[in-house]
Chains A and B, each alone.
Chain A
Amino acid sequence: MEGEGAATERQRRATASQVDQWAVQDHVFKIYGAFASIPRSAQSVILELQRDKHVEYLTRGLQQLGPSFVVLDANRPWLCYWILHSIALLGESVDDELEDNAIDFLSRCQDPNGGYGGGPGQMPHLATTYAAVNSLVTLGGNKALSSINRWMHDAGEIDVRACYTAISVASILNILDDELAKGVGNYILSCQTYEGGIAGEPGSEAHGGYTFCGLAAMILINQANRLDLASLIDWVAFRQGVECGFQGRTNKLVDGCYSFWQGGVFALLQRLPAFGGEGFGTSDVEVEWVSDSTSEGDDEDRDSSDDNEALHPEQDQEGHQSSSHSPESSTAVHIQHSRHNQLEPLFHTMALQQYIVLCSQEQEGGFRDKPGKARDYYHTCYCLSGLSVCQYSRSKNENSPPLPTSVLGPYSNLLEPIHPLYNVVSRQYHDAQDFFSKY
């Protein structure tokens, strides 16, 4: 039994990180294996998004911010945002009473001098301000939007997240000016590491959340081209692993929330006019040049082969397993394109949807980091946001609904499209933009 001996030898000298990685991998592959072995009709049932259960779980969270959320007492606007945005992604809305309560609650978090605190009476903070503003934009309507006192307040720790939240809020409220953007570009630039991703602060490691924040902020201040975008794409592309989901940093475990942080980076890149995208349709981002896309080919639409590929990851493992997260560098992405004539997007969107639906989704509602972890609103928000990004990744613009081949599972799984710069539902973003451009 030589093989077995080698296996135990491998186990013996494995590092703690590897043992963890293998455990997660095994768990995930078991789920995919079980899925592959059941009849096709049953498969489509399992791939269904448990909409009702999710809405139930989310609404419950909004009604009673239970005692076990002590840790979030300083972060209640976040909780509001995660829940409200998730509900909006599912195409639902909250009833009038809940809506009023949420607006009132957030108004009480607002500081008289501008900005929102983590709860009533608390000091304003950039991160909670972002969450509160995005919550109100998501609720939409006159009452919610006019409750925002558009005045910025500076304080708190400096990192890439703070840059993003400040710029994002200013942009969505239509108060972004050069003064605010000053220095931000240089700072974010100094956070891009040799790996290609962006770190939270200079000298730190490249990280999925900060990479999204950094890129989005750079786009908002119209300086994205100062980043080394080619190496950034490399880095993000290689964060998608054998489990089909994304990891947040080199050699870390997969986590459902990076479906948005990393997946969203692709959504941003794809819409850069620089990459032939449509632009962002915001007044702050100067659209450098937008093409007339009437002559565009539709060859990618005909390609549905990756549908099957995603559903049977075992078949794909030989190549895929070694390719993901490996230090071979760049061009894996590019090969996929030339071989399958499959031009966009630059990550495996079907595989990611599979991870979200089969591994992160809880049948009783809510989403989680990975199998074995408990669901929570943070992961629910970012798994759903990531799912929406995947579904619309082949759509040339937000008004054209995706083809069924872009949506894993039944077409009823289709979520609302988001505006990737702010991560609010597109329609809500446009309403808010109309509203704030009037004042």
Chain B
Amino acid sequence: MHGRPRKPLKPVDEAAVAAKAEKLRALQSEFLSNHQNKIYSKEAVELSAKLLEINPELYTAWNYRKLAVQQNLAQCESDPESVNSILDEELKVVENALRQNFKSYGAWHHRKWVLEKGHSSMDKELGLLDKFQAMDARNFHAWNYRRFVAALMKRSDEDELEHTQNMIDKNLSNYSAWHNRSNFLSRNCSVLLSNLMKKAAPGFTSKDEVLTREYELVREALFTDEDDQSGWFYHLWLLDQTVRSEFPLLVSSWPVEGSDISLPAADYLDGCASMNVFHYSSRNFPLVLYFNQSVRGVNSSTVSVSCGFNLNIDLIWKPLSSTDSQSAKVWATHLAIPDAELHSSEAYQVEVKVGFSQGIVSTTGVAYSHPSQISFQLHLQKTPLESGQDSRFGRIQWKDDCFAVYEPGSAEPDLVNLLDNLTIKNEVESTASTWQARIIDDETNIFRDLLDCKIGKLTVARLLTAYNSLRPLDKPVHCKEVLELYSELMKLDPSHYQYYKDNHSLVLLQQVTSSKESLLSRCFHYRDSTLSTNGSPLCLRLNNLAISQLGSFEKLLWVQMLDLSNNELQSIEGLEALQLLSQLCLSNNKFRSFTALESLRYLKSLKVLDISQNEIGSHSIDTTRYLFRSPLSHSVGSCDWNINYLSSETYWEAFFVLKDMGLTQLDVAGNAITSKSFNVFLEKLLPTLKWLDGVEVN
């Protein structure tokens, strides 16, 4: 269908061509009559060979030959000599046909059929392949056949790797050869991994060696010619293989190990259930587990929670993923502590044990094998909130003068102490990453020589970022350099501006979240006349950073009030991990649709939301759906809402994202979608709403 060679219409002797065609037609009709009458005589079979050598595309003749072979094999019983000669003949016909047209599907297929009968030898087949691959090094039939032969005859991976190396030596741009190499290597890596699991010893040297060798090989190609893409693609793949963590590990959690959490007593909440509560309640206390990769099997038998009181029921862990109902990077559950169980004077020790019994597995099937334990204390706080009984309570305003610089020693002392300790130490990871970090360090030093070209800059930036990702516990290094590299790239290569910008944003967030000091420099007290000083919440302000993408969520699980305004965000994917979030400002960003805000559906504590001054409704095509994973793009769920309200797509999306939220305050002004009817729709959709665009809702 595609890639078939066309015969150019050369000016040839017309008479000769016509004669040839006539002869072919005669042969063909004779063959078809043999086929129909099931004649498999020696002459008839030879005739089909003759035809196929002229026209390998004649797949009917291949099938005819298969029938003939089957019959002849049945007749000769199992005399090995006759069997061999019958099958040899087939191989010969295929070879001749391929010489005529080596892109013939039928011919390659016929050869596979013969080989599956256990005929031919590896040397013979590889010899043939070498001949054809010399003619066209990228012919995918030949590469497919090569993989088939190698698998069928159990050729060693090392030998096949050597072959691809020879092909690459001949032509560095041969992406088919690089591709085949990656096939063997990814298999190899997983084999090494399973050996490792068996030995349970730090025998990483072997993967280390393989990767080091590959880096050397591709480096040679890249330094020979930095303009060729094949090597760069391979280098990128290799880097991914190097940093990809095979073992599922727990990265962070809420609450943090060793923390001391105050809970408002249930009695004090009853009167003001719908007000702006900045603290989680004892009725609905979230536990969050953040893994380094998507895992499944998190449940009450793989994660045990013990505390000083009786939980009554098994906890239900939910994956925070919009695309998968079985697996996720982040899992959450809520403790509902029975009122009668808590006494204000006591502190309750809670222990969460993850992975002490088997069952948590990565999506690639690797078991979670490094049990962790998180202990923290719960206190009951009986201080009534002063404005608690007032039904008229203040509206949150995200103005600068409502925020005061964080003063050490004021509110939230427990929390502040924890900011040093946000991620979980994994010994396995740190030993495993030693050699990887070394490889990447070496690569970085080498590629610094290419810093005068675009791809060189990008590669160094990627390597430095990869280095940090291997050492999540250490303070990230070279952040400044990486940020500068991406800034230069944005200027140098405007057509990929957004890609560089996104990466720049991620590194910037890494830098901001890297230490307690730097986090605290972005923490502010929200001051409002209606709130007591004691209830004054700490707000993390990541506004005005020009970020276009969010990241570092594992270090933000504690955040309850978050200001992301005045950035260039197009999606909040990942924000669902922040289960404590109750106030969120997203105004003045670049959200184009409600699909971009889908993570909100998982933020059950969210009360205050500002999405004003965005681009919702101003684009007819929702690019979010192209660029981010979203189940909205796949399924609609059941819809019991009065369909009249959902007459336009955007209303429907708003419905889907906001429907179960208990928002008390919402700002949507400054989006193309807003209109009187949209506001009416929102009021109906959100019965808990007290403020809409700064106006009190009746």
Contacts and interface: CB of A to CB of B under 8 A. Distances in A.
B174 interface: yes
A78 B9 CA distance: 19
B55 A127 contact: no
Contacts of B620: 276, 293, 296-300, 343
Q: Of B2, B143, B172, B650, which is in contact with the most chain A CB atoms at under 10 Å from its CB?
A: B2
A338 B498 contact: yes
Given A121-B35, A200-B144, A233-B626, A74 B55 contact: yes
B619 A331 contact: no
Contact of A288 (B4, B225, B227, B634): B634
Contacts of B201: none
A289 interface: yes
Given A71-B57, A327-B232, A335-B498, A205 B619 contact: no
A121 B59 CA distance: 12
B9 A74 contact: no
Interface stretch (B15-23, B285-293, B580-588): B15-23
Interface stretch (A172-180, A244-252, A400-408): A244-252
Given A161-B1, A298-B620, A378-B4, A292 B648 contact: yes
Interface in B1-39: 1-9, 17-18, 20-21, 24, 28, 32, 35-36
Interface in A221-244: 225, 229-230, 233
Given A204-B140, A230-B629, A233-B626, A335 B496 contact: yes
B144 A204 contact: yes
Contact of B499 (A70, A155, A288, A328): A328
Nearest to B186: A194
A316 to B, nearest CB: 9
B647 interface: yes
B224 interface: yes
Given A200-B144, A249-B138, A329-B499, A230 B628 contact: yes
Interface in B87-126: 101, 105-106, 109
A332 B173 CA distance: 23
Given A276-B649, A335-B497, A15 B228 contact: yes
B412 interface: no
A207 B173 contact: no
B626 A230 contact: yes
B620 to A, nearest CB: 4
B626 A68 contact: no
Contacts of A10: 225, 227
A123 B55 contact: no
B495 A319 contact: yes
A307 interface: no
B498 A322 contact: no
B176 interface: yes
Given A15-B171, A18-B225, A204 B499 contact: no
A117 B618 CA distance: 52
B57 A72 contact: yes
A338 B619 CA distance: 10
Nearest to A298: B620
Given A74-B57, A123-B60, A335-B496, A327 B171 contact: no
Nearest to A292: B647
A162 to B, nearest CB: 10
A206 to B, nearest CB: 9
Contact of B143 (A13, A193, A205, A339): A205
Nearest to B105: A157
Contacts of B20: 67, 70
A261 interface: yes
Contact of B625 (A16, A208, A274): A274
A419 interface: no
Nearest to B492: A322
Interface in B499-542: 499, 502
Contacts of A208: 2
B173 A297 contact: no
Contact of A121 (B18, B36, B635): B36
Contacts of A343: 619-621, 623
A209 B1 contact: yes
Contacts of B636: 288-289
A327 B619 contact: no
Interface in B47-68: 54-55, 57-60, 63
Interface string B147-189: 1000000000000000000000001111110010011000000
A203 interface: yes
A328 B496 contact: yes
Contacts of B140: 200, 204-205, 207, 249
Contacts of A420: none
Interface string A363-402: 0000000000010101100100000000000000000000
Nearest to A228: B629
Interface in A183-211: 193-195, 200-201, 203-205, 207-209
Nearest to A226: B634
A250 B498 contact: no
B621 A251 contact: no
A323 interface: yes
Contacts of A72: 57
Given A17-B173, A67-B21, A343-B620, A204 B143 contact: yes
Interface string B623-654: 10111110001111000000000011110100
A409 B74 CA distance: 65
B309 interface: no
A251 B229 contact: yes
A333 B498 CA distance: 9
A59 interface: no
B236 interface: yes
Contacts of A146: none
Contacts of B454: 322
Contacts of A320: 495
A203 B147 contact: yes
Given A325-B229, A331-B496, A291 B652 contact: yes
A339 B501 CA distance: 13
A258 to B, nearest CB: 8
Contacts of A194: 182, 237
A249 B224 CA distance: 23
Contacts of A327: 229, 232-233, 236, 455
Interface string A319-350: 11011011111111111111100011010000
Contacts of A78: 1
B494 to A, nearest CB: 6
Given A123-B63, A274-B625, A73 B24 contact: yes
Nearest to B141: A200
Top 5 closest A-B pairs, CB basis?
A: A67-B21, A17-B173, A319-B495, A274-B633, A209-B2
Given A120-B32, A204-B144, A275-B622, 15 more contacts: A67-B21, A78-B1, A122-B60, A156-B59, A194-B182, A205-B143, A252-B138, A291-B648, A319-B495, A330-B499, A334-B623, A335-B495, A335-B496, A338-B570, A339-B497
Interface of B: 1-9, 17-18, 20-21, 24, 28, 32, 35-36, 54-55, 57-60, 63, 101, 105-106, 109, 138, 140, 143-144, 147, 171-176, 179, 182-183, 224-225, 227-230, 232-233, 236-237, 454-455, 458, 493-499, 502, 570, 590, 618-623, 625-629, 633-636, 647-650, 652, 672
28 contacts: A71-B4, A71-B57, A71-B101, A73-B55, A74-B58, A118-B58, A121-B36, A122-B60, A161-B1, A200-B144, A207-B140, A230-B627, A248-B2, A250-B233, A251-B228, A252-B138, A269-B626, A275-B622, A276-B620, A288-B636, A293-B649, A319-B495, A325-B229, A329-B499, A332-B499, A337-B623, A374-B9, A378-B4
Interface of A: 10, 13-18, 67-75, 78, 117-123, 125, 127, 155-157, 161, 193-195, 200-201, 203-205, 207-209, 225, 229-230, 233, 248-252, 257, 261, 269, 272, 274-276, 288-289, 291-300, 319-320, 322-323, 325-339, 343-344, 346, 374, 376, 378-379, 382
